[in-house]
Amino acid sequence: QITLKESGPTLVKPTQTLTLTCTFSGFSLSTSGVGVGWIRQPPGKALEWLALIYWDDDKRYSSSLKSRLTITKDTSKNQVVLTMTNVDPVDTAAYYCARSRGTQTYYFDYWGQGTLVTVSS
Amino acid sequence: SYVVTQPPSVSVAPGKTARITCGGNNIGSKSVHWYQQKPGQAPVVVIYYDSDRPSGIPERFSGSNSGNTATLTISRVEAGDEADYYCQVWDSSSDQIFGGGTKLTVL
């Protein structure tokens, strides 16, 4: 059974750094073709892709947020961490992690439940 | 950067066919994936690589992609199909892109 679960703070102050952890089970991030990505969704708005890390440690970032994002993996712990610097209230959103299948033209076949992060002073 | 466009809403009566579009320049040359999201839940993939259907997704869900439009078709619509639907594509200039979403209302 494949599961993913996001964890991290629910409230962050503006200008602070947000660190989110995705803990997964049922698959290995060392398997060829597998990746784990992050997607967010502001309340009432559309999905927005943020970043993805592949099994071979290749990393991809949203061009609009690239300067603020870092994605890393710990294969031994089955975790992927996303760091976002200098957060702003517009970063308030549900943050999802999801497993990807394929390369470049991949899709997300398993998703976590999401975690709501509010940015406010 | 590449842009994909979805209609904000689509309404359909039960038992009828719903068609949700995802428009983009020459999108027919790209792979399109579709997700269903119900309120308070994470998205679920219903169609991947234009027309493939994951196990567990009813055959009523199908997809096509040609020219400047990809289409998610839901046949014999049921009340339980009411949800937001998002398309996803990859483009070399923007990497992953999600459409703005379409709210499907079952009348």
Contact B33 A61 (CB under 8 A): no
Contact A111 B48 (CB under 8 A): no
What percentage of chain A reaches a pLDDT higher than 90?
Answer: 96
pLDDT in tens, B64-104: 999 999 999 999 999 999 999 999 999 888 889 999 999 99
3-state DSSP assignment of residue B29? helix
Question: What is the DSSP code string of chain A?
Answer: --EEEEE--SEE-TTSPEEEEEEEESS-TTSTTEEEEEEEE-TTS--EEEEEEETTS-EEE-TTTGGGEEEEEEGGGTEEEEEE-S--GGG-EEEEEEEEESSSS-EEEEE---EEEEE--
pLDDT of B95: 87
Contact B43 A111 (CB under 8 A): yes
pLDDT of A102: 82
* Interface-testing mutation among A24, A47, A60, with chain B (most B C-beta atoms within 10 A): A47
pLDDT in tens, A16-58: 999 999 999 999 999 999 999 999 999 999 999 999 999 999 9
Tokens of A45: 């708005």
- Dist. CA A9–CA B33, nearest whole Å: 31
CA distance A74 to chain B (A): 23
Mean of the per-residue pLDDT values for chain B? 97
Number of Cβ pairs closer than 8 Å across A and B?
58
B88 at interface of A, judged by CB pairs closer than 8 A: yes
B98 at interface of A, judged by CB pairs closer than 8 A: yes
Query: Are A55 and A31 in contact, with CB atoms under 8 Å apart?
Result: yes
**How many residues does this entry show for chain A?**
121
* Interface-testing mutation among A22, A36, A107, A115, with chain B (most B C-beta atoms within 10 A): A107
- Dist. CA A54–CA A60, nearest whole Å: 9
Does residue A72 surpass a pLDDT of 90?
A: yes
A61 at interface of B, judged by CB pairs closer than 8 A: yes
Tokens of B5: 């466009």
